[in-house]
Amino acid sequence: MTDPARHITTELVHHAYQAPSQFFAPQPAVHKASTVFFDSVEDMRKRRWLDKSGFTYGLHGTPTTYVLEERLCSLEGAQQCLLVPSGLSAISTVALGLLSAGDEVLIPDNAYGPNKDFAEHELARWGIRHVLFDPMDVQDLQAKLTPATKLVWLEAPGSVSMEFPDLIACVQLCRQRSVTTVLDNTWGAGLAFKPFDLLADGGSLGVDVSAHALTKYPSGGGDVLMGSITTVNQALHMRIKLTHMRLGIGVGANDAEMVLRSLPSMALRYRAHDASARTLAAALAQQSAVVQLLHPAFAGAPGHAQWHALCSAAQDGQGAAAGLFSVVIDPQYEQAAIDTFCDSLALFQIGYSWGGPVSLVVPYELDSMRAGGRGQVKAGTVVRFCVGLEAVQDLLNDLAQAWQKAFHTPWQTAPIAPSN
Ligand SMILES: *Cc1c(COP(=O)(O)O)cnc(C)c1O
């Protein structure tokens, strides 16, 4: 169990796990089973998996998945955890567990795209309506809440455009209306802020559910897909857990092991990704072809004040902001120039996802991703960078050479002012 006197970094290293006699070692064992044997028919009838008092079948949990669930509860400040095979599966399982025909779900317009897609193409077939709201306008959220609204998704910041919403105000509003909130907490990852204790004073205000793509920072390798659904309310957990069981969702023991192996280094990696991302973001912001920097730790970025209120105390006062940011390129540059820039990068690979050791870059056409317009994001192509663990000077050099090749303008290197 979590020791509240200890830092999360320590909690991720020291497991509550009980090792077999004389085999206490850094990693817990990897237990694999579909079938679990019972001592007798009577034992079979008595054993319970729902409250984790016993093991009955591999799909219902193993000692390995239980340890991982405990670690993730420590990370997010949660009481209960469910493991699912991807971050997207966390999203869909929460929706299927908590919504019924006739219900409405509200999703921010800048949310992770497949969340909107799932609502549009799957939930709609079950008679569940989804409505998009402006993530930066609490009044828009308020106006769209109806008696049929049963679930509100939140994401801080938005996946590609990086606007940081007023999470506290959104959660307060939903609390007043008794609407369940679920946060996609992949970016914050349990390190930037506490999703179940947004006021950081003991849990008086928090989201109801946190969905986390463990694929990103908890895995850290770009080689595992997994997700988690954490809660602090047993009844809410049970509703999702029963749906999860009936859908037949589970994770492989080897994948659970990989995440367990990566968790102890997660806080260090997060800090390193964050520091490099801020250095690169500051350098890119100085280029004349960049019309806007979308990184919530920088003054002037959409939602900077909200980021500051929630995340600036983390990481010993450095603030926490992950390794992800975007820039908007001046619309005078053609798509071909932006493609050339991305293609000319040698260290940044072109690829989806983030949280791994290799830096990634992807250009996005924001207009086609939004129903309600670009909001606070200026006109131009959005290029998103996911900063890996390479030496930051090498990444800077790589950006500079690709920039000159694509945009035929010199790379500016004025001194960089610190952010936060
Ligand atoms: C990657 C991601 C997901 C989905 O995770 P997968 O494991 O790739 O399915 C969900 N939400 C956010 C914000 C993500 O970045």
Q: What is the 3-state secondary structure of 127-179?
A: CCEEEEECCCCHHHHHHHCCCCEEEEEEECCCCCCCCCCCHHHHHHHHHHCCC
Q: Is residue 345 part of a domain?
A: yes
Task: Give, using CA atoms, the residue closest to atom 10 of ligand 1.
Answer: 87
SS3 assignment, position 393: helix
User: Residue 210 pairs with which residues in a beta bridge?
Assistant: 183, 230
Of the candidates 242, 264, 286, which is a domain's last residue? 264
Mutation to probe ligand 1, out of 94, 161, 184, 225 (largest number of atoms < 8 A from CB):
184
Task: Give, using CA atoms, the residue closest to atom 5 of ligand 1.
Answer: 87
Q: Is residue 32 part of a domain?
A: no
Pinpoint the alpha helices (H) of 248-390: 253-262, 266-285, 304-311, 335-344
pLDDT tens over the chain, length 420 residues = 567 788 888 888 887 778 888 888 888 899 999 999 999 999 999 999 999 999 999 999 999 999 999 999 999 999 999 999 999 999 999 999 999 999 999 999 999 999 999 999 999 999 999 999 999 999 999 999 999 999 999 999 999 999 999 999 999 999 999 999 999 999 999 999 999 999 977 768 999 999 999 999 999 999 999 999 999 999 999 999 999 999 999 999 999 999 999 999 999 999 999 999 999 999 999 999 999 999 999 999 999 999 999 999 998 889 999 999 999 999 999 999 999 999 999 999 999 999 999 999 999 999 999 999 999 999 999 999 999 999 999 999 999 999 999 999 999 987 655 555
User: Is residue 401 in contact with ligand 1, taking CB distance under 6 Å?
Assistant: no
Same domain, 211 and 154: yes
Q: Is residue 71 part of a domain?
A: yes
User: Rounded to an integer, what distance in angstroms lies between the CA atom of residue 270 and that of residue 45?
Assistant: 46
Distances in Å between the Cα of 346 and the Cα atoms of 42, 349, 361 are 63, 7, 11
Instruction: Give residue 221's pLDDT.
Output: 96
Same domain, 233 and 328: no
User: Is residue 356 in contact with ligand 1, taking CB distance under 6 Å?
Assistant: no
Mutation to probe ligand 1, out of 215, 258, 354, 385 (largest number of atoms < 8 A from CB):
215
Q: Is residue 36 part of a domain?
A: no
**Tally of domains in the chain:** 2
End-to-end CA separation in angstroms for the chain: 34
The CATH number of the domain holding residue 294 is: 3.90.1150.10
User: Residue 363 pairs with which residues in a beta bridge?
Assistant: 383
Instruction: Of 360, 401, 357, give the one whose Cα is nearest residue 268.
Output: 357
User: Is residue 87 in contact with ligand 1, taking CB distance under 6 Å?
Assistant: yes
User: Is residue 161 in contact with ligand 1, taking CB distance under 6 Å?
Assistant: no
Same domain, 192 and 291: no
Instruction: Give residue 204's pLDDT.
Output: 85
Name the burial class of residue 101, with classes exposed (0-12), middle (13-18) and buried (19+) by CB atoms within 10 angstroms of its CB.
exposed
**What ligand 1 atom has the least distance to the C-alpha of 225?**
7
Instruction: Give residue 4's pLDDT.
Output: 75
Same domain, 338 and 232: no
Instruction: Give residue 282's pLDDT.
Output: 97
Same domain, 130 and 45: yes
**What ligand 1 atom has the least distance to the C-alpha of 111?**
13
Of the candidates 218, 245, 264, which is a domain's last residue? 264
Instruction: Give residue 6's pLDDT.
Output: 84
Mutation to probe ligand 1, out of 84, 92, 94, 112 (largest number of atoms < 8 A from CB):
112
Of the candidates 264, 283, 311, which is a domain's last residue? 264
Same domain, 254 and 360: no
In contact, 373 and 309? CB cutoff 8 Å: no
User: Is residue 184 in contact with ligand 1, taking CB distance under 6 Å?
Assistant: yes
Instruction: Give residue 209's pLDDT.
Output: 98
Same domain, 155 and 297: no
Mutation to probe ligand 1, out of 88, 182, 251 (largest number of atoms < 8 A from CB):
88
What would the two tokens of residue 13 be? 């290293």
Instruction: Give residue 416's pLDDT.
Output: 56
Q: How far apart are the CA of 16 and the centre of ligand 1, in A?
A: 28
Q: How far apart are the CA of 227 and the centre of ligand 1, in A?
A: 8
Q: Is residue 144 part of a domain?
A: yes
Q: How far apart are the CA of 218 and the centre of ligand 1, in A?
A: 12
Same domain, 375 and 363: yes
User: Rounded to an integer, what distance in angstroms lies between the CA atom of residue 397 and that of residue 209?
Assistant: 41
Instruction: Give residue 229's pLDDT.
Output: 98
What's the pTM? 0.95
User: Rounded to an integer, what distance in angstroms lies between the CA atom of residue 323 and that of residue 418?
Assistant: 16
Same domain, 248 and 279: no
Q: Is residue 106 part of a domain?
A: yes
User: DSSP state, 108?
Assistant: E
Residue 196 host element (H or E): none
Position 372: which residue type? G
Same domain, 239 and 316: no
User: Rounded to an integer, what distance in angstroms lies between the CA atom of residue 173 and that of residue 180?
Assistant: 11
Same domain, 160 and 97: yes
CB atoms inside a 10 Å sphere around CB 191:
25
**What ligand 1 atom has the least distance to the C-alpha of 89?**
9
Instruction: Give residue 13's pLDDT.
Output: 80
Between β-strands 129-133 and 180-184, what pairing exists: parallel, antiparallel or unpaired?
Answer: unpaired
Cis preceding-peptide flag for 157 (omega within 30 of 0): yes
Instruction: Of 93, 77, 75, give the one whose Cα is nearest residue 85.
Output: 93
Q: Is residue 15 part of a domain?
A: no
Same domain, 199 and 57: yes
Q: How far apart are the CA of 167 and the centre of ligand 1, in A?
A: 19
**What ligand 1 atom has the least distance to the C-alpha of 352?**
1
User: Is residue 159 in contact with ligand 1, taking CB distance under 6 Å?
Assistant: yes
The CATH number of the domain holding residue 204 is: 3.40.640.10
User: Rounded to an integer, what distance in angstroms lies between the CA atom of residue 15 and that of residue 13?
Assistant: 6
Residue 361 host element (H or E): strand 360-364
| Rounded CA Rg of the chain | 22
Q: Is residue 96 part of a domain?
A: yes
Q: How far apart are the CA of 112 and the centre of ligand 1, in A?
A: 7
**What ligand 1 atom has the least distance to the C-alpha of 159?**
13
Domain with 87 in it: 41-264
